[in-house]
Amino acid sequence: MSLVAQALVALTHYVLDGQTWAGDQIMEQPVEPIGDLLRGAGDAQKPVLAVYVESAKMQIQGRETQGEKGMLDLKVFAYIAPGRVKLPDGIGFELDGSQAGLTLNVIGRQIDAALHLGAAAWLPVWRKFVFSIEEREVRYMLVEVESAVKIPTMEISYRCATIPDPDFGTPLYGSWLALDSALRDAGGDKVKLADLFKGMIESPAGLPAYQDLQANFGLTDAGLAATGLGPVPGAVTEDGDPVELEQITNDSDVIIVPEDEP
């Protein structure tokens, strides 16, 4: 999975939190989301949302422009508990399995609304990662578990045009810097997530600038030399740093530059 995909899963979770009838019952890429529903069988249960990324396609090396985009399939699943559905306080009617379609459609509308008008602390950052939603598709399913209980389910797929994955060995910038600030402001476990993203983007640190350029644009040694931004072939130290310039050759003229002068 790409870093953009992982960031968007987390951001979508935060944007949806408290914005739908599921309340805070939101999971990120769970293996068994239906388990949470069945554990409360017999009692009124909130719906459960699960956020996934199914696929991500983007260029990560050799990019030619600054406006490149990635394409990512973001999915939000809504699961309705068997039996009576627990709704937030103030909702003036009760729902059960016989009204699963109504429940799912209301939640679907709430999810769409949250991506336009969701949590104020997170939606601006979400928009920095998603240029546009190119396509939306909804599917309705009955998921049957081993006990023959059927779980009404809705799958919403969003085809998103996103920023590309970040370069390697680069200080946080742009959308990633905004995400880092938002995570750290939120505190708690989100700080650990901020540290994880920061480490994966800025590592390896301390490489010479020309090596960062070569790695992120996928240049061969010859390609790097052709840019004129790398050291003269062979004129590097064991650590990969260019050696200090001592003389400049221009045609037949040789200019000696003393080491103690700039």
3-state secondary structure 44-68: CECCEEEEEEEEEECCCCCCCCCCC
Share of residues in the chain with pLDDT > 90 (%): 38
- Does 170 map to a domain? no
Torsion of CA 117, 123, 124, 128, to 10 degrees: -120
Report the C-alpha gap between 80 and 155 in whole angstroms. 12
- Does 128 map to a domain? yes
Rounded mean pLDDT of 60-71?
A: 62
Between 136 and 57, whose confidence is greater?
136
Kindly report the CATH number assigned to the domain that includes residue 114: 3.30.70.1700
pLDDT per residue over 75-91, tens digit each?
999 998 776 667 666 56
Q: 115: closest CA among 26, 17, 9, 15? A: 15
- Does 184 map to a domain? no
Highest mean pLDDT among 31-35, 101-105, 146-150, 209-213: 101-105
**153 lies in which domain range?**
3-165
Residue 92 has a pLDDT of 45
- Does 172 map to a domain? no
- Does 28 map to a domain? yes
Residue 173 has a pLDDT of 87
8 A C-beta contact, residue 85 and residue 103 = yes
Rounded mean pLDDT of 230-248?
A: 57
8 A C-beta contact, residue 153 and residue 143 = yes
Between 69 and 162, whose confidence is greater?
162
Report the C-alpha gap between 75 and 135 in whole angstroms. 12
> Count of CB atoms within 10 A of residue 128's CB?
19
- Does 37 map to a domain? yes
8 A C-beta contact, residue 202 and residue 180 = no
- Does 257 map to a domain? no
Report the C-alpha gap between 22 and 32 in whole angstroms. 17
Return the DSSP state at 231.
P
- Does 19 map to a domain? yes
Number of domains in the chain: 1
65 has pLDDT over 50 = no
Half-sphere exposure of 211 (CA within 13 A, CB side): 12
pLDDT per residue over 34-51, tens digit each?
766 666 545 567 888 999
Report the C-alpha gap between 256 and 262 in whole angstroms. 12
| pLDDT-wise least confident of 31-45, 124-138, 142-156, 212-226 | 212-226
Return the DSSP state at 161.
E
Between 167 and 246, whose confidence is greater?
167
